[in-house]
């Protein structure tokens, strides 16, 4: 019998997704490359390890794998983003036929996805860029899925993707058609940027409590108390991490303070600059990771420069309020960036629907995200939402106090500080950019507009 759908690439995510598909009753074929001495009989061995894969067809020959699929073929790629995707597509084209559909479920750059769509379309092939979030567990039990490309092609793969996706509070799949071109990979990229900030904010709250002498167990208890109002997947796993012991010692205390990244935060930061959007928190979180990586330089600086003893008075309620305030700014910036890109490219992304599929399965799922589903129906600018305005006004003073205490106490808290700094700029009617524009005109004759000229005409002065 021919398989309904095939999957290429049996890494962590590929294995979990293939098991998920099989568990939902789909007849599948799985493929993994053959590399002598390194990757041999991977698909066969994997199939034999899991009961749900007993009907699956395993391959390490690409031509035989493609032949095993019913037409038009539907193939999910779960390979490393970048040149590997192009190499696999190049090999696949020899065996594919017009109207076959290839679904890239990796973290590819959205512009590369758009390019691949155009190149394959010439040969009558359909390419779908599909963001998948949830990690290994999410991929197995139900991820959030963000497909994009030809809308009519989505209807042909919809039943597979929606079947394996997580479910929201109403039982609907956390999968929806995002838009044209590489929009699915774009929103996944920004999802990861929001994730960077959410992780950094929790790390900064942890750092502040640590500097106050709070134990890991007590920090976990503080975070546990936040779950009633501010619950999220990342908050939950942070509590677990804080409580994890190795013998009598906390494991977290043994982990080197060097944070890595796989590139999506970099791409998101470049996109922020390309779209001219003031989404300042994602770069702050990314650069915090970069700074952490230079451990040796930080150790040298720590020996050279003295550090003040932290004596600031920060209450747990103030910290909770500050965390809530900063999260609002983070989500506001992320969705505003997606809206800007969607308008520029004509993607027509439904922000409310996007928030809905991020309420389950993905890394940034939270109670707050559930609220955003309704908020984004009313206004894409979250800072204009009446509910959030009330919270911002109620928590603003707390974050101002904490930002000042962090600066005075020399605690590195870039995202907490930047969130209030961004807000101050956002609500400032008159910024000093008039001076910058005058400077630009002085040295480069870049011209400027005048507040006393409503025509919008540009002026130049011989300074």
Which residues are annotated as catalytic? 188, 195
Name the nearest CA neighbour of 174 among 453, 365, 439.
365
Beta strands in 157-251 (DSSP E): 245-246, 249-250
* C-beta pairs of 388-397 under 8 Å, 24+ apart in sequence: 388/328, 388/332, 391/324, 391/325, 391/328, 392/325, 392/328, 392/423, 394/321, 395/321, 395/322, 395/324, 395/325, 396/325, 396/420, 396/423
Helices 316-345, 183-211: axis angle to 10 degrees equals: 160
**315 touches 222 (CB < 8 A):** no
Q: How many residues does the chain have?
A: 463
Q: Which stretches of 95-190 are assigned E, i.e. beta strand?
A: 101-104, 126-133, 144-148
Partners of 5 in beta bridges: 28
What is the C-alpha separation between 324 and 319, in angstroms, rounded? 9
Q: To which residue do tokens 């040149």 refer?
A: 83
DSSP assignment letter at 96: -
Name the 3-class secondary structure at 81.
coil
Residue 3 has which token pair? 């398989």
Pairing label, strands 101-104, 74-77: parallel
134 with 142: CB under 8 angstroms?
yes
Instruction: Give the span between the Cα atoms of 346 and 6, in whole angstroms.
Output: 31
Residue 300: strand, helix, or coil: helix
Q: Which two tokens stand for residue 168?
A: 């929201």
329 CB-contact burial (10 Å; exposed 0-12 / middle 13-18 / buried 19+) = buried
Burial 3-41 (b: 16+ CB within 10 A, else e): bbbbbbbbeebbbbbbbbbbbeebbbbbbbbeeeeeeee
Rounded-to-integer distance, Cα 80 and Cα 335, Å: 27
């Amino acid at each position: 019998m021919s398989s309904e759908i095939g999957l290429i690439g049996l890494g962590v995510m590929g294995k979990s997704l293939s098991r998920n598909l099989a568990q939902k009753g789909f007849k599948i074929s799985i493929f993994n490359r053959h590399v002598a001495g390194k990757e041999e009989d991977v698909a066969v061995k994997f199939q034999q390890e899991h009961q749900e894969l007993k009907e699956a067809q395993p391959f390490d020959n690409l031509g035989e794998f493609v032949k095993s699929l019913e037409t038009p073929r539907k193939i999910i790629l779960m390979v490393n983003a970048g040149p590997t995707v192009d190499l696999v597509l190049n090999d696949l084209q020899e065996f594919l036929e017009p109207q076959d559909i290839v679904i890239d479920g990796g973290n590819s750059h959205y512009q590369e996805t758009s390019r691949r769509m155009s190149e394959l379309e010439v040969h009558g092939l359909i390419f779908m860029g599909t963001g998948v979030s949830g990690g290994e567990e999410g991929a197995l039990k139900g991820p959030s899925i963000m497909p994009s490309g030809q809308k009519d092609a989505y209807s042909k793969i919809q039943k597979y993707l929606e079947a394996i996706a997580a479910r929201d509070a109403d039982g609907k799949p956390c999968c929806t058609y995002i838009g044209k071109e590489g929009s699915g990979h774009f929103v996944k990229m920004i999802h990861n940027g929001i994730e960077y900030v959410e992780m950094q904010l929790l790390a900064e709250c942890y750092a502040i409590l640590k500097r106050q002498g709070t134990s890991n167990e007590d920090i976990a208890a503080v975070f546990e108390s936040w779950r009633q109002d501010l619950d999220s997947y990342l908050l939950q796993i942070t509590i677990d991490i804080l409580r994890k012991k190795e013998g009598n010692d906390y494991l977290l205390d043994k982990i080197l303070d060097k944070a890595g990244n796989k590139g999506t935060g970099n791409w998101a930061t470049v996109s922020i600059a390309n779209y001219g959007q003031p989404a300042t928190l994602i770069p702050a979180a990314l650069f915090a990771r970069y700074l952490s990586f230079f451990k040796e330089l930080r150790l040298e600086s720590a020996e050279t420069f003295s550090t003040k003893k932290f004596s600031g008075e920060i209450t747990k309620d103030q910290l909770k309020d500050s965390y809530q305030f900063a999260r609002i700014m983070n989500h506001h910036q992320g969705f505003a960036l997606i809206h800007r890109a969607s308008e520029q490219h004509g993607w027509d992304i439904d922000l409310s629907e996007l928030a809905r599929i991020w309420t389950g399965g993905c890394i940034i799922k939270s109670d707050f995200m559930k609220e955003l589903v309704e908020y984004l129906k009313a206004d894409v600018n979250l800072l204009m939402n009446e509910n959030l305005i009330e919270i911002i006004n109620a928590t603003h003073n707390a974050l101002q106090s904490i930002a000042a205490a962090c600066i005075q106490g020399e605690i590195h808290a870039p995202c907490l500080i930047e969130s209030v700094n961004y807000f101050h700029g956002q609500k400032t009617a008159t910024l000093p950019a008039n001076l910058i524009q005058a400077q630009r005109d002085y040295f480069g004759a870049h011209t400027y507009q005048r507040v006393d000229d409503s025509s919008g005409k540009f002026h130049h002065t011989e300074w």
